[in-house]
């Protein structure tokens, strides 16, 4: 096909599009690139995964027969329920802060701080939950081979558990922070750069 014919074909296609079609296409393109939309979606993911794992912990409580691992899994369930309420509120807060071309600098600041505070408090809460989760998983697998009384009477097992908690807690914390940076960091930087530009114009 000749170049002239190609251009004519493109012109005809453009003429067949209505103004509404063009505006809808532009709006979709903006949404794909909007860091706020991306961040809100990632907050929604946290709600989804919190709900996803809750049935597993409930199942573990009824599966094990010893009081200690049951208590540990109940603590984990309570922590996840608190986390679920926390994430829902943070998500609602993020959705209430509507950003756009004419939004104030303060609104953008509040949105960024809401996301950062969410991640920060999640990571701090994890430091408390990780050793409990490690102990729960440890006893969950161990008590299939021996009774709870035998496990608690064996110093080697208790030392192994302590070492496991010491290793897994900072490792899990580092992994959680890395995942949050990977998931949220790029879009937070975009918003911080946008805020810096707004402030430089004032």
- The better pLDDT of the pair 51, 201 is held by 51
Checking if the pLDDT of 172 tops 50, the result is yes
Q: What is the per-residue pLDDT across 80-121, written as a single tens digit (0 to 9) for each? A: 999 999 999 999 999 998 766 556 788 999 999 999 999 999
Q: What is the pLDDT, as a whole number, of residue 12?
A: 54
Residue 158 lies in a domain: yes
Q: What is the per-residue pLDDT across 128-171, written as a single tens digit (0 to 9) for each? A: 999 999 999 999 999 888 999 999 999 999 999 999 999 999 99
Number of domains in the chain: 1
Q: What is the per-residue pLDDT across 9-50, written as a single tens digit (0 to 9) for each? A: 544 554 554 444 434 443 444 444 689 999 999 999 999 999
Residue 69 lies in a domain: yes
Model confidence, pTM: 0.78
- The better pLDDT of the pair 6, 53 is held by 53
Residue 49 lies in a domain: yes
Q: Buried b vs exposed e over 54-93: b needs ≥16 C-beta within 10 Å?
A: beebeebbeebebeebbebbebbbebbeebeebbeebbeb
Residue 29 lies in a domain: no
Q: What is the pLDDT, as a whole number, of residue 101?
A: 54
Which residues are CB-contacts of 54 (< 8 A; sequence separation ≥ 6)?
A: 77, 80, 81, 84
* Domain interval for residue 166: 35-200
Residue 28 lies in a domain: no
């Amino acid at each position: 096909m000749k170049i002239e014919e190609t251009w004519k074909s493109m012109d005809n296609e453009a003429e067949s599009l209505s103004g509404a079609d063009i505006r809808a296409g532009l709006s979709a393109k903006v949404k794909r690139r909007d860091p706020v939309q991306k961040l809100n979606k990632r907050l929604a993911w946290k709600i989804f995964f919190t709900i996803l794992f809750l049935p597993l912990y409930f199942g573990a409580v009824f599966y094990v027969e010893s009081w200690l691992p049951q208590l540990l899994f109940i603590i984990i369930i309570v922590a996840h329920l608190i986390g679920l309420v926390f994430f829902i509120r943070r998500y609602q807060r993020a959705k209430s802060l509507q950003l756009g071309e004419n939004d104030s600098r303060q609104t953008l600041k509040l949105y960024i701080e809401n996301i950062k505070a969410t991640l920060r408090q999640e990571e701090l809460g994890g430091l408390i939950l990780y050793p409990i989760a490690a102990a729960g998983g440890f006893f969950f697998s161990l008590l299939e081979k021996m009774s709870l009384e035998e496990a608690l009477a064996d110093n080697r097992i208790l030392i192994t558990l302590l070492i496991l908690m010491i290793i897994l807690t900072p490792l899990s914390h580092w992994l959680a922070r890395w995942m949050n940076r990977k998931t949220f960091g790029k879009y937070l930087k975009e918003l911080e750069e946008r805020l810096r530009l707004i402030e430089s114009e004032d």
